[in-house]
Amino acid sequence: KQEVTQIPAALSVPEGENLVLNCSFTDSAIYNLQWFRQDPGKGLTSLLLIQSSQREQTSGRLNASLDKSSGRSTLYIAASQPGDSATYLCAVYILTGGGNKLTFGTGTQLKVEL
């Protein structure tokens, strides 16, 4: 059974700092990996999707990398801002006969302080 772990569970940093969030998964036979942002009490906002043939994706100040062989992904946030405060979830895709399934990690709760 696929298990997804995110470390750290919570992180507090001063504004302007660069930071790395980690995601690991137990079964390397994944299809895609996706990073989401979730604000308190809200739904999921997609940040980056890394497809099976890719090793990284970039969007603005965000960069996500994927190493399937080691079962790891990282989300790099450059020059953090208070507006980046949220919970960040990673999720791995597994192909099934009926489409695909997502298994989520429990998230890293990020707080960026002024």
CA–CA–CA angle 25, 31, 35 (5° rounding): 60
46, 58, 59, 81: which one binds another protein (CB under 8 A): 46
**113 near 13, Cβ under 8 Å?**
yes
DSSP 3-state assignment of 10?
Answer: strand
58 binds another protein (CB under 8 A): no
The only residue of 21, 84, 92, 105 in contact with another protein, by rule CB under 8 A? 105
- Which residues make up the interface to another protein (CB under 8 A)? 4, 31-32, 34, 36, 41-44, 46, 49, 51-52, 89, 91, 93, 95-96, 98-107
